[in-house]
Amino acid sequence: MIFVVFVLMFPWQTMSEDCQRSPYSLPGFKIHGHVITSVSLSTISQCKHRCAAQQRCNSISFHQNTKKCEMHDGNHISYPESVLRSNGYVYVNVPTRPPKRCSRKLCSYPLACVPEGESYKCVTCQEAKAEQVLSFSRKSAQDYAILDDPFVSVSAFTLSFWVQVDATSTSNAVFEYGTTTDDNAVSIYVTDSYVGVNVIGANKILYGVNLVDNKWHHLCLTWENTDGNIKFYIDAVLRHEFIGKKDEQLGKGSIVLGQDQKGFKTGFRDSVAFKGNLASVNMWSRAFPAGEVSVLASTCPTSEGDIVQWSTLKTKRSGMLELVCSNYCM
């Protein structure tokens, strides 16, 4: 499988890395997965026209015998690893509608990949206007970000962020909001066998959930004090809903990224320090409904919160934390 992907990618190797022209059609290949819709049509021309009418369609895979037309929300630039040999199929790119992003695998770090018509180019993070992610490169009590007094008090909130947990780090304190009276007022803890969530004393553990996989995931936590409703989403899917404190206020305190507190802003330990990458950590002063959570999970970076903004939080780093270019969060 790896060999096929490299054959697909490297016909462009005679061109410069900054401007590589991609093939328009590949007989005997198809994109596996990433299908918006699949229909039966008589000709490949009809399939291309149907794709052109679909706003999200960037490419097609058409089977010459079964007449199956698969429309994809990306192409060989965004999903090079998914373009594989498949007898009877023809893969066709739609050059008039390039995807919004291309695969990071096409460019050498630290360059970012950006689509350019039917091709792509590798540019610096600044040129790509890519989001910088906060890199926790080791498990150390010295590495954290702290934002003091982001708000006085709130009666509801939505917490949203993107996280990529290093596959070697089995226990990770990702996010905590603490006050002088409750150092774990809000927390999200990720291990290789469960995800723990706490909101003002209401705790839930989601067993059998493993986010320690080197992949980017969107996490979202909402709470409101009228009914005490707490909802926790992973990649836009509601994974748990439970009742917390009613008529409470989340008071003045501090956000701590990457550490578990044993005391207010203290007691950090190497063993549970977060290792991985964080991006677009934001909070709003209301509980988002599912539709708005889905919007947050559909793009990185997200919009900025009204009570906590990533643009400020990412500057509050200590230790060996670094802001690095990401061609995922663009």
The confidence score (pLDDT) of residue 9 equals 42
> Cα-atom radius of gyration of the chain, to the nearest Å?
22
Phi, psi of 291 (to 5 degrees): -60, -40
What does the alpha-carbon distance between residue 93 and residue 273 come to, in Å, rounded to a whole number? 44
Distance of CA 281 to the CA centre of its chain: 11
Q: What angle do CA 81, 300, 164 make, to 5 degrees?
A: 65
pLDDT in tens, 279-321: 999 999 999 999 999 999 988 888 899 999 999 999 999 999 9
Each as own residue / partner, the long-range contacts of residues 49-56 (CB below 8 Å, 24 or more positions apart, any chain) are: 51/94, 52/94, 52/96, 52/97
What does the alpha-carbon distance between residue 248 and residue 226 come to, in Å, rounded to a whole number? 9
Tokens of 117: 């018509």
CA nearest to 199, candidates 183, 186, 182: 186
The confidence score (pLDDT) of residue 130 equals 66
The confidence score (pLDDT) of residue 251 equals 95
Listing DSSP states for 6-39 in one string gives HHHHGGGTTS-TTSEEPPSEEEEEEE-S-EEEEE
pLDDT tens digit at each of 330 positions of the chain = 333 333 334 333 333 333 344 447 899 999 998 899 999 999 999 999 999 998 889 999 999 999 999 999 889 888 888 899 999 999 999 877 778 778 877 888 677 788 877 688 888 877 776 667 999 999 999 999 999 999 999 999 999 999 999 999 999 999 999 999 999 999 999 999 999 999 999 999 999 999 999 999 999 999 999 999 999 999 999 999 999 989 899 999 999 999 999 999 999 999 999 999 999 999 999 999 999 999 999 888 888 999 999 999 999 999 999 988 775 665
Q: How many CB atoms lie within 10 A of CB 188?
A: 21
Q: What is the DSSP letter of 273?
A: B
The confidence score (pLDDT) of residue 74 equals 87
What pTM was computed for the model? 0.67
**Token match 């400020």: residue?**
312
Cβ atoms 210, 192 nearer than 8 A: yes
Phi, psi of 271 (to 5 degrees): -60, -30
The confidence score (pLDDT) of residue 129 equals 66
- The 3-class secondary structure across 131-193, one letter per residue, is CEEEEECCCCCCCEEEEECCCCEECEEEEEEEEEECCCCCEEEEEEEECCCCCCCEEEEEECC
What does the alpha-carbon distance between residue 57 and residue 63 come to, in Å, rounded to a whole number? 17
Looking at the DSSP bridge assignments, the partners of residue 56 are: none
Cβ atoms 248, 154 nearer than 8 A: no
pLDDT in tens, 5-59: 333 343 333 333 333 444 478 999 999 988 999 999 999 999 999 999 988 899 9
Distance of CA 232 to the CA centre of its chain: 16
The confidence score (pLDDT) of residue 85 equals 95
**Token match 């096929």: residue?**
4
